[in-house]
């Protein structure tokens, strides 16, 4: 019976405001440890990746614009 009461009181403390604050602090401590494991890209890698994304976006936009123009001309020719 004593073990059951201890378990219930531990659960009550953990679910109370103090328990939530402890969980919050533990979460941030674990997050700091994980952030230290991250391998961040260099400035050169970041710039080259950004340029690649911009170029691919430009090519896709041009392609879709040309396809849209061609399809609209085809539909216009069919309907007129």
In this prediction, the residues of the chain whose per-residue pLDDT falls under 70 are 1-15
DSSP letters of the chain? -HHHHHHHHHHHHHHSHHHHHHHHHHHHHHHHHHHHH--PPPHHHHHHHHHHHHHHHHHHHHHHHHHHHHHHHHHHHHH-
Count the alpha carbons within 13 Å of 60 in the hemisphere toward its beta carbon.
6
Whole-model pTM?
A: 0.55
Query: With 0-12 CB in 10 A as exposed, 13-18 as middle and 19+ as buried, what is 26?
Result: exposed
């Amino acid at each position: 019976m004593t073990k059951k009461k201890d378990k219930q009181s531990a659960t009550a403390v953990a679910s109370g405001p103090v328990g939530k604050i402890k969980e919050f602090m533990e979460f941030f401590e674990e997050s700091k440890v994980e952030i230290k494991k991250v391998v961040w890209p260099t400035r050169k890698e970041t710039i080259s990746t950004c340029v690649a994304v911009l170029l691919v976006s430009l090519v896709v936009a041009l392609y879709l614009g040309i396809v849209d123009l061609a399809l609209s001309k085809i539909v216009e020719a069919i309907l007129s």
